């Protein structure tokens, strides 16, 4: 069970073309997948957050974490994770370092599941159900671009029961609400654009569109008191957490009463166990969980297992576009807006390395 190799690889798979030509606002979509190999021939896979920083995430895995792990027993996930955190804290506790640790830790869990012959959710203690509703998470389009309407209509026709837009104008939010009707929950993600004052003003202006949550309205994301003030003064439920790493930052967010919905991201927060730490804190403190998962690879599969296991978080986030190639040998099943959690060992998915080969980027 000794670890013989740890390797991060970068793949830049372009999105599938859309029906209408719109400026692409999601940036270059390079993903980092991690493989941990043990001396019994098993390989676990994980995903480290990489959008915009693939070479940095991969370098931390390949140059900094690999030497800490090779030769160690892969079954000691908690101890190895603690070692990774402690040995890297000088480089910055949060951000790229934690993204890299998240990918490696996820691969260790995948290995554990493969060794046990059990899906991750079973390994963790079972699941109440293995079907997880998804919400369609639209990318940000310019102002009131027609694509918002087209995407929202398509998502509703496909059976999604909730919609998220990344629009920052009132008329564009109104467009989305008009398409989906009064009864479908609508959330708006600002990606930290506003001051607390602006956020409060905009939350008031969007009040009539009944936001289920308003996501990360305030810059900087760690201005927890600013978030708390916006939520208290407007009565609009806020969400945040995709930019938080480790349960410590989530605890601080809850202590400040910053938001209602906490959004751990399994490729960023520190991995599977840290995501679970956050989920338990959220439950103990009476908050709500709304996992962040705009992923296509192991990060998406892991989030499905975690939601199924904890029963927290009513929906999984499905970023609403597809890639040019399917990443898994057997695609995740999504029908009528509901995912079926894969029941193979570990994450229950296998990357299609042959299809991915054409998109591999040298890690420099």
Which CB atom, from 85 or from 209, has the smaller least distance to Mg ion? 209
Please report, in angstroms and rounded to a whole number, the separation of the first and last CA atoms in the chain.
30
Phi-psi region at 235: left, alpha or beta (left = phi > 0; alpha = psi -120 to 50)? left
Q: Which of 33, 28, 35 is nearest to 51 (CA)?
A: 28
Residues 41-100 that bind Mg ion (CB under 5 A): none
Residues 214-273 that bind Mg ion (CB under 5 A): 215, 242
Q: Which of 190, 196, 183, 154 is nearest to 169 (CA)?
A: 190
Q: How far apart are CA 261 and CA 317, in angstroms?
A: 14
Which CB atom, from 110 or from 242, has the smaller least distance to Mg ion? 242
Which CB atom, from 55 or from 314, has the smaller least distance to Mg ion? 314
The helix (run of H) or strand (run of E) holding residue 4 is strand 3-12
**Number of chain positions touching Mg ion (CB under 5 A):** 3
- Which residues, in sequence order, are CB contacts of 348 under 8 Å at separation 6+? 113, 119, 120, 301, 305, 341, 342
The first and second tokens of residue 238, run together, are: 């806020």
Fill in the per-residue mask, 177 to 216: x = in contact with Mg ion (CB under 5 A), - = not in contact.
------------x-------------------------x-
In the bound complex, what is the minimum distance in angstroms from residue 138's beta carbon to Mg ion?
12
Which CB atom, from 215 or from 274, has the smaller least distance to Mg ion? 215
Q: How far apart are CA 347 and CA 272, in angstroms?
A: 11
Q: What are phi and psi of 259, to 5 degrees?
A: -145, 170
In the bound complex, what is the minimum distance in angstroms from residue 148's beta carbon to Mg ion?
16
Angle of helix 77-88 versus helix 96-116 axis, rounded to 10: 170
In the bound complex, what is the minimum distance in angstroms from residue 56's beta carbon to Mg ion?
20
Q: How far apart are CA 137 and CA 57, in angstroms?
A: 24
In the bound complex, what is the minimum distance in angstroms from residue 259's beta carbon to Mg ion?
12
Which CB atom, from 221 or from 348, has the smaller least distance to Mg ion? 221
Which CB atom, from 165 or from 179, has the smaller least distance to Mg ion? 165
Q: Which residue is nearest to Mg ion (CB)?
A: 189
Which CB atom, from 35 or from 215, has the smaller least distance to Mg ion? 215
In the bound complex, what is the minimum distance in angstroms from residue 118's beta carbon to Mg ion?
32
Q: Which of 108, 120, 110, 97 is nearest to 49 (CA)?
A: 97
The helix (run of H) or strand (run of E) holding residue 187 is strand 186-189
Residues 108-127 that bind Mg ion (CB under 5 A): none
In the bound complex, what is the minimum distance in angstroms from residue 263's beta carbon to Mg ion?
7
In the bound complex, what is the minimum distance in angstroms from residue 190's beta carbon to Mg ion?
8
Q: Using CB under 5 A, list all residues that contact Mg ion.
A: 189, 215, 242
């Amino acid at each position: 069970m000794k670890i013989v190799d740890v390797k991060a690889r970068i793949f830049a798979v372009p999105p599938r073309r859309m029906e209408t030509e719109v400026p692409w606002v999601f940036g270059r979509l390079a993903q980092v997948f991690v493989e941990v190999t043990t001396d019994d021939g098993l390989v676990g896979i994980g995903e480290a957050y990489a959008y915009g920083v693939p070479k940095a995430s991969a370098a931390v895995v390949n140059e900094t974490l690999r030497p800490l792990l090779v030769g160690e027993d892969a079954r000691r996930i908690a101890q190895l994770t603690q070692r990774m955190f402690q040995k890297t804290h000088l480089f910055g506790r949060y951000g790229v370092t934690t993204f890299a640790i998240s990918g490696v830790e996820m691969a260790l869990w995948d290995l554990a599941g493969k060794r046990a012959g059990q899906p991750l959710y079973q390994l963790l203690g079972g699941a109440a159900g293995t079907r997880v509703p998804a919400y369609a998470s639209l990318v940000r389009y310019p102002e009131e671009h027609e694509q918002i309407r087209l995407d929202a209509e398509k998502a509703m026709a496909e059976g999604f029961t909730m919609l998220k837009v990344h629009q920052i104008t009132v008329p564009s939010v109104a467009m989305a609400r008009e398409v989906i009707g009064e009864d479908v929950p609508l959330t708006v993600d600002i990606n930290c654009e506003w001051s607390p004052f602006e956020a409060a003003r905009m939350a008031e202006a969007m009040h009539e569109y009944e936001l289920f949550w308003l996501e990360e309205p305030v810059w900087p994301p760690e201005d927890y008191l600013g978030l708390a003030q916006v939520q208290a003064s407007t009565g609009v439920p806020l969400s945040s957490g995709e930019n938080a790493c480790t349960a410590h930052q989530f605890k601080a967010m809850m202590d400040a009463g910053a938001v209602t919905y906490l959004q751990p991201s399994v490729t960023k927060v520190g991995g599977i166990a840290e995501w679970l730490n956050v989920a338990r804190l959220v439950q103990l403190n009476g908050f709500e969980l709304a996992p962040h998962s705009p992923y296509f690879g192991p990060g998406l599969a892991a989030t499905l297992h975690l939601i199924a296991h904890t029963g927290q978080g009513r929906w999984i986030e499905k970023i609403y576009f597809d890639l040019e190639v399917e990443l898994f040998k057997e695609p995740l099943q999504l029908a009528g807006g509901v995912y079926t959690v894969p029941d193979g060992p570990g994450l229950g998915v296998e990357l299609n390395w042959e299809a991915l080969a054409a998109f591999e980027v040298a890690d420099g």
